[in-house]
């Protein structure tokens, strides 16, 4: 998920807002990347583009900007590669640990823990170091990590360690990517560019979870990992074409960095006090943790679910558990993009929480649902094998899970953005990322223990009960 940029407005020089264009005057000159490289000399390294409503711009005009095209194609390639890596890691760990739920949870925690520890400070590093170097270096480090996965694919402990180290190094990547976009496009293209990035982010996530299982199935894990090395290497290489403005940075002095860290800590405390003073904002921040946590729990139990519930020993079939949920998120976001303005956000979140709990109950009871659904078709000679019948029953339920997650995440994110004070919005959004990662870790550990005690269906049933209780409790916030 994309991480928000820290609120750096206080660190920037005062800047006068541009005057509105005179309709009778000549059209303004186009701002090129080269022009900006000269205009920005002597200013802070992450200038904030003025919030201007775009006129007469579209995706075509943005994609004609070769600098933006470089970072956009790198984003798609790197994000698809990263999601493919997560799938391959879950597959490898499940194979090494006998589809152990706690083993898969370990991979997810190794990814989440660095976010808890370092995400709030990553924006400080982005403002003071070379953004282009961060983007290029992170992609090549990810490529090197995949080489490590190749050499140590038979050792779970090594896979955990490599994953943790790469997750630590990757923390500044998304803030650096987000703060680079305003340097590459004109002010009127900024919203279009960000929309394109968000759409590509969703497509690349789904593409990653489609690419990896297909490659594993037909070419094996070794070939898959070599393909991923190529994806990350391409993403790193194409970023060398970013203009010089993305390479400038502030001078870093040890004392200045320490003072900045202290200031960030005080600002985070101020943001925490602001959250605690606004009950609806606090509730929204708690609610927004449920959507990604449910997806992580689904990824955690997918290998065990495939083996013990579907009775399929090919672990690569966990694709049918995860991919529909990703597709459902895309469908949900598409629906919200067209009709969300007519729906009250708080009510939609409550309904989605209750629907999500029902969908989780459905996943827990897939064998019975599959039997009851396909039984009438036997009269006309349609009697699919038990494994196929359960997969065909499970796919639409998993799709519904993804739609519900989108119906929770997008409205709650909007509530957070609306209620967060403007001067604290950056730090509150950064704290949201930390909170989401932190609150996901205990359920991941608990679910592994519960699954060992009562089985994967019982564990899913308990998750459904908890989500239903949260949905009912949220009724009082409407």
Concatenated DSSP letters of 25-45: SPPPPP--HHHHHHHTTTS-S
Q: State whether 243 and 266 are in the same domain.
A: no
Q: State whether 268 and 237 are in the same domain.
A: no
Q: State whether 289 and 426 are in the same domain.
A: yes
Last residue of a domain, one of 225, 252, 279: 252
CA pair distance 273, 427, nearest whole angstrom: 12
Convert the pLDDT of each residue in 161-179 to its tens digit.
Answer: 999 998 888 877 777 777 7
Token digits of residue 336: 């919200």
CATH number at residue 434: 1.20.1250.20
Q: Within a domain: residue 231?
A: yes
For residue 134, the enclosing domain spans 64-252
Last residue of a domain, one of 194, 219, 252: 252
Convert the pLDDT of each residue in 80-129 to its tens digit.
Answer: 888 889 888 888 988 888 877 788 888 888 888 888 887 766 665 666 67
Indicate whether 148 pLDDT > 90.
yes
CA pair distance 83, 409, nearest whole angstrom: 19
Across 2-6, 26-30, 70-74, the highest mean pLDDT is recorded for 70-74
Last residue of a domain, one of 252, 283, 311: 252
Region of poorest pLDDT, from 62-76, 113-127, 386-400, 448-462: 113-127
Indicate whether 249 pLDDT > 80.
no
Indicate whether 316 pLDDT > 80.
no
Convert the pLDDT of each residue in 323-354 to its tens digit.
Answer: 888 788 878 877 776 676 567 777 888 888 99
Q: State whether 212 and 283 are in the same domain.
A: no
Cα separations (Å) of 329 from 284, 355, 415? 19, 14, 19
pLDDT of residue 349: 85
Q: State whether 149 and 264 are in the same domain.
A: no
- Number of Cβ atoms within 10 Å of the Cβ of 261: 11
Number of domains into which the chain is organized: 2
Higher local confidence (pLDDT), 235 or 207: 235
Query: Do 82 and 231 contact (CB within 8 A), yes or no?
Result: no
Q: State whether 139 and 280 are in the same domain.
A: no
Q: State whether 363 and 217 are in the same domain.
A: no
């Amino acid at each position: 998920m994309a991480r928000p940029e820290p609120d750096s407005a206080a660190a920037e020089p005062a800047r006068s807002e541009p005057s509105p264009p005179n309709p009778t005057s000549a059209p303004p000159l186009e701002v090129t990347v080269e022009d900006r490289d000269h205009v920005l000399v002597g200013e802070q390294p992450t200038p904030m583009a003025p919030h201007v409503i775009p006129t007469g711009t579209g995706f075509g005009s943005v994609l004609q900007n070769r600098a933006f095209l470089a970072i956009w194609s790198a984003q798609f390639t790197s994000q698809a590669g990263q999601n493919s890596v997560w799938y391959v890691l879950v597959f490898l760990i499940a194979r090494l640990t006998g589809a152990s739920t706690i083993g898969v949870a370990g991979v997810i925690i190794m990814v989440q823990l660095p976010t808890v520890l370092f995400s709030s400070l990553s924006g400080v590093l982005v403002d003071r170091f070379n953004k282009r170097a961060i983007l290029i270096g992170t992609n090549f480090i990810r490529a090197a990590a995949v080489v490590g996965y190749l050499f140590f694919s038979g050792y779970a402990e090594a896979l955990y360690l490599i994953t943790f180290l790469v997750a630590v190094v990757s923390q500044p990547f998304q803030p650096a990517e987000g703060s680079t976009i305003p340097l590459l496009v004109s002010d009127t293209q900024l919203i279009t560019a960000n929309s394109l990035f968000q759409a590509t982010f969703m497509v690349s996530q789904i593409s990653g979870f489609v690419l990896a299982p297909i490659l594993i199935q037909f070419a094996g894990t070794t070939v898959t990992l070599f393909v991923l090395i190529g994806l990350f290497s391409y993403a790193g290489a194409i970023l060398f074409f970013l203009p010089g403005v993305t390479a400038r940075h502030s001078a870093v002095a040890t004392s200045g960095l320490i003072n900045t860290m202290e200031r960030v800590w005080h600002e985070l405390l101020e943001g925490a006090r602001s959250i605690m003073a606004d009950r609806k904002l606090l509730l929204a921040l708690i609610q927004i943790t449920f959507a990604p946590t449910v997806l992580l729990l689904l990824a955690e139990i997918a290998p065990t679910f495939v083996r013990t519930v579907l009775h399929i020993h090919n672990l690569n079939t966990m694709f049918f558990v995860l991919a529909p949920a990703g597709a459902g998120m895309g469908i949900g976001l598409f629906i919200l993009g067209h009709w969300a303005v007519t729906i009250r956000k708080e009510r939609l979140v409550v309904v989605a929480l209750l629907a999500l709990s029902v969908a989780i109950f459905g996943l827990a009871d897939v064998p019975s649902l599959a039997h009851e659904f396909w039984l009438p078709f036997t009269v006309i000679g349609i009697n699919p094998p038990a494994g196929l019948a359960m997969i065909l029953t499970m796919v639409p339920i998993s799709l519904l899970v993804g739609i519900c997650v989108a119906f929770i995440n997008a409205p709650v994110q909007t509530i957070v953005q609306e209620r967060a004070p403007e001067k604290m919005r950056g730090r509150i959004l950064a704290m949201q990322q930390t909170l989401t990662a932190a609150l996901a870790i205990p359920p991941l550990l608990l679910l592994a223990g519960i699954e060992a005690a009562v089985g994967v269906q019982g564990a899913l049933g308990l998750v459904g009960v908890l989500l239903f209780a949260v949905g009912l409790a949220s009724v009082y916030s409407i």
